[in-house]
Structure 1
């Protein structure tokens, strides 16, 4: 009997030591801060917000749930509106829903009912991500109010050709209606246009007059850029994640800018001397074969750019942005900040690429003037 008794006594003694240590720690904190542990605010500071009525604080979950709020939006909750729920738009919503920087996504589409069915099927296994998405009516999308960024992805998944051509009258009218919604409900938002040709659709959005041209950017042909990235990775023999490419539009299509492309920070010309196939780029038939299978990478690129924008961080990207001299939106390399385009960075092109890019810019100017004439 004495053995177990001694063991029990030793256990009680150890518990007593632990309790005294905890009590000592509590007294130390009380003397230092003048409060008890119960009075101290929850960990996380402004990331926790008390419920209405003085209840317990609630923190955002890791699975993508947003902050609860009652009377005003938290500075940490960013809202993004996406027009279009096709193959690209729904995947952009998926990647943004996973971001801790974005707390609310408003999804709008011109096809009634398709947005909800498509996205719910796509996110059916993740309730946390699905809870961040709001579906709204295209005719009057009130929920998009106070959006920090708006992505226009209407018809973006069907375009694989690189030729510049006038959009249809129906497409132009749809873009004008979308621009009108943006100007009415979210004039302060930064607008990203995925619809192609982005050079002309950016101009349509800017001509409404409700959004500053510096806050409008167009995304290039992202499927082609992804092809270049993977092809460079294959030629060099590295993972695609180690490759950072730069491309430029020409009348012949999309071309690689070798001097501004990097592999793990090393300029591409220092690693590969013969990039003839990579520089030439893919043909239309090859992109048609890839179109239905390669939407994740372009959507991830768009989501990453938008996440940086709404977080207030600056970045250098290739995009369609305003040229103040001509009033057009040709492709350029630009520094993008919270207020939009801050600076245009020149391409480091080879001699023959300079002339081809000049012809491309002249073609953009010509089509823009035709678009203005039709609008007038």
Structure 2
């Protein structure tokens, strides 16, 4: 069954993906199957390989009614509804996402101003790790309003969290309402106080289901969620399918202007710390990401969020200091 693109306001939807590595290409393929975009553009430093990927994708595009092409410069970003940045050094076994920061920050210094120059009205979606630090960098380097610079953040962690809770409680993850906020990394925070199934908080659900609420089991769920990427990278060397599907889930409400709530990273002030980028539930539409209603957290969760924000802020400041010293 073929899918026609679903343009917003009757306009054709052009999406540019910067970085034709495993995440970028898998995202392009997922977008083709989604029917969201009428034109996909790949930009990569290895233009020859990118052309091979584009040709292969074009054979899938025959069924998806979308055009796929490769561009050699950032002028191709002109008119893009969104530009998704997946380029950068990948996380290796044993590395944290923060270990990648210096190399990938330098890449963003070269790439983001070019995107902003040619596509001043686009929405930037950042997937490169460490995603929170680089979302903040993209915000500063682009000069865009904070609503139009969105990091994939803990959208993937939230998906993993719901998956783990669904497995434990024996329900479909779609029926589990729970979020991970803060850093897309080791200081991420599961919001236990708001997690629910069938409209009931987890403790109440357990009472109604006639089962014990197991704190240790919940700690294990959080641990598996936090360590999922490390395990995948250890086994196969990269993550790509999950993050690609998450990037499509972020782009869809932007294209369709649907006001969907997704847990993504955005620059703001969090528990008195900022400006810093980290993840909270945001309303997504064609104008970008909006934090209209503060998340209701308990005091322990507020402290956890503050700790996460301080950690990200520390890395941002250290990168800026290092960058200033290298230029002096």
- Residue 242 of structure 2, aligned match among 291, 297, 314: 297
Q: Which of 134, 137, 153 lines up with 2:69 in the alignment?
A: 134
Which residue of structure 2 lines up, in the alignment, with residue 206 of structure 1?
A: 139
**Which of 1 and 2 has higher RCO (CA within 8 Å, sep 6+)?**
2
CA distance in 2, matches of 1:97, 1:305: 15
SS in 1 for 2:245: helix
The aligned runs of 1:270-281 (5 Å cut-off) are 270-272=204-206, 273-274=213-214, 275-281=218-224
Total equivalences in the alignment = 308
Q: 1:161 to 1:219 in 2, by over 3 A?
A: farther
Q: Is 2:18 aligned against 1:78? A: no
Q: How does 1:194-233 map to 2 (within 5 A)?
A: 194-221=127-154, 223-233=156-166
Q: How big is the shift at 1:215?
A: 0.9
- Structure 1 115/231 Cα, relative in aligned 2: closer, same or farther at 3 Å? same
TM-score (norm. length: structure 2): 0.80
Residue 318 of structure 2: aligned partner: 370
The match for 1:22 is none
1:147-186, Cα deviation, whole Å (9 max, x unpaired):
0111111137637879563645442221122212211111
Please state whether the residue corresponding to 1:333 is helix, strand or coil: strand
CA radius of gyration, larger in: 1
* Contact residue 246 and residue 257 of structure 1 kept, 8 A: yes
The equivalent residue for 1:4 is none
Change (3 A) 1:131 1:331: closer
Gap regions ≥5 residues in structure 2: 207-212
State how far apart, in whole Å, the 2-side matches of 1:100 and 1:265 are.
32
1:317 is aligned to 262
CA RMSD of the aligned region, Å?
Answer: 3.2
Quick one: structure 1 residues 257 and 119, their matched pair in 2 at CA, closer, same or farther if it must change by over 3 Å?
Answer: farther
Change in Cα spacing, 1:176 to 1:75, as seen in structure 2 (3 Å) is: farther
Contact 2:92 2:237 in 1 (8 A): no
Contact 1:79 / 1:149 at 8 angstroms: preserved in 2? Answer: yes
Matches within 5 A, 1:1-376: 63-64=2-3, 75-121=10-56, 124=59, 127-129=62-64, 131-137=66-72, 140-155=73-88, 158=91, 163=96, 165=98, 167-221=100-154, 223-249=156-182, 252-263=186-197, 265-272=199-206, 273-274=213-214, 275-282=218-225, 283=227, 285-289=230-234, 295-323=240-268, 326-343=274-291, 345-376=293-324
**Contact 2:161–2:179 (CA under 8 A) maintained in structure 1:** no
2: CA distance, partners of 1:203 / 1:170: 15
For 2:54 and 2:147, locate their aligned partners in 1 and report how far apart those are by CA, in whole Å.
Answer: 31
Give TM-score, length-normalised by structure 1. Answer: 0.71
Shift of 1:296: 2.3
Larger helix fraction of residues: 2
